[in-house]
Amino acid sequence: MKLLLLTLGLLLLAFAGIAIKIWAKKDGEFAGTCASQNPMLNKEGEACGFCGKMPSEFGSCNESSK
């Protein structure tokens, strides 16, 4: 029973932390949402499917850049 309560408490703490991070960010967006920023996911150097930027052009990735 103690293990179950500890597990539920840690899960609630994790969800609360994520909720606070989203609430504190401007427009509730996570930073770095483009997979093109990760060299392991974009080995060919293709443009971002979300904002259209090339990997060398990333300063910020947002939908208004389209």
Q: Which two tokens stand for residue 9?
A: 């408490």
Convert the pLDDT of each residue in 28-42 to its tens digit.
Answer: 566 656 666 666 777
For residue 66, the model assigns a pLDDT of 44
CA distance 36 to 32: 9
- Residue by residue, pLDDT tens for the chain (66 residues) are 999 999 999 999 999 998 887 777 766 566 656 666 666 777 777 777 777 777 676 655 554 544
Closest CA to 39 of 59, 54, 60: 54
Cβ proximity of 31 and 59 under 8 Å: no
